[in-house]
Structure 1
Amino acid sequence: MATQRSENPTELKEEKIAIIGSGLIGRSWAMLFASGGYLVSLFDTDSRQVRDAMTNIQQQLTMLSERGLGRGSLSADIQFSRIKASTSLLEAVNNAVYIQECVPERKELKRAVLLEIDAAMTSTAILASSTSAMMPSLLSDHLTNKDRFIVAHPINPPFYVPVVEIVPAPWTADHVTTTTSEIMDAIAQVPVVFFKEVDGFSVGRIQFAILSVAYDLIKNDICDVDAIEVAMTEGLGMWYAFYGPFEVEHLNADGFLDLCNKYGEAVYRVQKTFAAPEKMEGPTAERMREQLELFCPLDKLQKKRQWRDERLAALSRLVRDLDKEEATPSGDN
């Protein structure tokens, strides 16, 4: 069930958020926290990288404001003024109440950076990783403050897709999970809270399951890449923009149990035909590459990403407007 986002005026906060890593994910996090009124310290070891990140953030905030797609009620200028660049980890982490690690997805690199942060953070700060698939326990077992470590995994691109997976390690304190979820609410992200860790979390596991079935269809010459894309964008995607898979089925019958009684055997029969997962490589992957590049050449990827972001922003705005209409009592303007 979708969570409606608040449109209350954004208050300026005194709490400081540290973002470690100024790549695409780090920039999005910085923008999100600034839009929520937080003070933000954006850290990177490369001074040129972090300067470029600040320039890009300013451009994005201005563009979003001009198109009416910004987050919160603060102006683009005020949001940008809340973000400060830093090339000193100690300076960035000092007095931060929440720290979001966003370095590249390499286990040993993340473990090393997290250890540096662990040594510099206060004893009350929360340390979160943006990892897309690594188990929290594998990243934090060596930390002194491991009870304050958690995964807060955004979906790419974070500024346009609001879900954040909140995944605790076995030793994460309960209040850390609760507080992290509250912080996500405060910046209009939508937390999905896990009771315990699992490889791939939820979005990844569901996404990879779809990839596995679709890959098998192409491998066995049942259909081509375009057919799969259309089946998702003009079929399942239309449902899933508003409901999750279980509520879709709940609505497609007289409740979920009725669906199970009517179609459970058919679902199970088809599921038993699914092939074992295999690595996507070799001739099938090459054939898929050729088909994909026919309608999305590599030199057009950035343009296509921009198109995607604009559509995601428009969809978010549509959902927001529909929610607002539904929340307005009948007869009110």
Structure 2
Amino acid sequence: METVVIVGSGLVGKSWAMLWASAGHQVRLYDVVPEALASAPGQIKEILTLLEAKGQLRPSKLNVQEQLELISVHPDLKEALRGATYIQENTPEALEMKRNTFQLLDALLKEVGNTTAIIGSSTSTIQGSLFTNGLSVEERSIVVHPVNPPYFVNLVELIPTPGTKPEVGIRLRGLMESLGMKPVILNKELPGFALNRIQYAILNECWRLVNDGVLSVADVDTVMKEGLAPRYVFMGPLETAQLNAHGFVDYCQRYGQGINSVSQTMQEIPLMSGESCAEIDRQLQTILPDGQLPQRRAWRDENLARLASFKRELGL
């Protein structure tokens, strides 16, 4: 059994707490905002109870009450770190805040004599070396980037820094797999990691298609929802290409030159601002006004929960 400290009790932090508890691990929640910390257990109970009623809980040998009993709140971070084996940091996406948090963790872990706990950061674009370099915890620190919400989306990116010991990534990969996650380990550190670099490439071309008057916002999203996404739910773009020909080598021979020729027309990387940003937003507001975003997020999460259950049934 692991003793896990979750630093930050927001949406991602609560999802991490639920994931670790579902696998039978002790979870200690910490947050700098006392009110957020105090309300977290009740919110987690409400979420798990609702998921149980819908048959959407992650597979576990423990019922909801048993999972809840594994989660405790700790207003004192120093005390929470005593005996911890894994720490998951979930502070906002700001380099200075990450750096300050890791400096604090570095100091407190020294004070409590914890020299072995692995520290994961949930940053989605910032290279871990930028906020761990020079700290004594660098060799056991690693970026652990989930996809929101991680309770329903299994991918987690593991990105060691140049100073991370190799065994940290290996051990953490095993732990993530034991939670039912699908970890990938990047062999080198780079901005945006893998998921966001792919996502940004898609967003850049979607921007161009709207900005150049080729498609409306609604039609761009339809291309993804009704064209690419149905296949990508079950297989990645490389396997999709492999299946679209007599293997991947045949695909490259057939389409490689065409892909290169089209890609040459994609022009420079756009800066997403100004009049084009306002026009895309105007069209989005006619489809989904910002005031309806909370309901739409709940709809998204409900569908992701159903999809996660369906993929488990298929053994994917």
Settle same-fold status: TM greater than 0.5.
yes
Hey, what's the Cα distance between the residues in 2 that align with 1:145 and 1:113?
A: 12
1:241-263 deviation digits (Å, cap 9, x = unpaired) = 01101000000000000000111
- The offset of 1:194, in angstroms, is 1.0
Equivalent position SS for 2:120: strand
- The offset of 1:43, in angstroms, is 0.2
Give the partner amino acid of 2:288: C
In the alignment, is the contact (CA less than 8 A) between 1:61 and 1:76 conserved in 2? yes
Aligned to 1:202: 194
Hey, what's the Cα distance between the residues in 2 that align with 1:52 and 1:63?
A: 17
Are 2:278 and 1:286 aligned?
A: yes
Give the partner amino acid of 1:201: F
Q: Map residues 162-311 of structure 1 onto 2, 5 A cutoff.
A: 162-311=154-303
Aligned to 1:128: 120
- The offset of 1:72, in angstroms, is 2.6
Equivalent position SS for 1:284: helix
In the alignment, is the contact (CA less than 8 A) between 1:42 and 1:85 conserved in 2? yes
- The offset of 1:87, in angstroms, is 1.2
1:59-101 deviation digits (Å, cap 9, x = unpaired) = 1011111111111321111111111011111122111100000
- The offset of 1:105, in angstroms, is 0.8
Give the partner amino acid of 1:18: V
Aligned to 2:10: 23
Hey, what's the Cα distance between the residues in 2 that align with 1:153 and 1:81?
A: 26
In the alignment, is the contact (CA less than 8 A) between 2:7 and 2:87 conserved in 1? yes
Equivalent position SS for 1:184: helix
Aligned to 2:130: 138
Aligned to 1:68: 55
Hey, what's the Cα distance between the residues in 2 that align with 1:75 and 1:300?
A: 34
Task: State the TM-score, normalized to the length of structure 2.
Answer: 0.96
User: Which among 38, 46, 53 is matched to residue 59 of structure 1?
Assistant: 46
Aligned to 1:102: 90
Give the partner amino acid of 1:237: A
User: Which among 52, 65, 74 is matched to residue 86 of structure 1?
Assistant: 74
Aligned to 1:4: none
Equivalent position SS for 1:223: coil
Task: State the TM-score, normalized to the length of structure 1.
Answer: 0.92
In the alignment, is the contact (CA less than 8 A) between 1:19 and 1:101 conserved in 2? yes
- The offset of 1:157, in angstroms, is 1.0
Give the partner amino acid of 1:216: R
Give the partner amino acid of 2:272: M
Hey, what's the Cα distance between the residues in 2 that align with 1:86 and 1:295?
A: 43
- The offset of 1:223, in angstroms, is 0.7
Aligned to 1:328: none
- The offset of 1:299, in angstroms, is 1.3
CA RMSD in angstroms comes to 1.0
In the alignment, is the contact (CA less than 8 A) between 2:144 and 2:158 conserved in 1? yes
- The offset of 1:120, in angstroms, is 2.1
Equivalent position SS for 1:22: coil
Aligned to 1:9: none
Equivalent position SS for 2:315: helix
Give the partner amino acid of 1:28: S
Q: Percent identity?
A: 39
Structure 2: which 5+ residue stretches go unaligned? none
1:154-199 deviation digits (Å, cap 9, x = unpaired) = 0011111110000000010011001111110111111011111111
Hey, what's the Cα distance between the residues in 1 that align with 2:63 and 2:108?
A: 33
Hey, what's the Cα distance between the residues in 2 that align with 1:176 and 1:258?
A: 39
In the alignment, is the contact (CA less than 8 A) between 2:207 and 2:270 conserved in 1? no
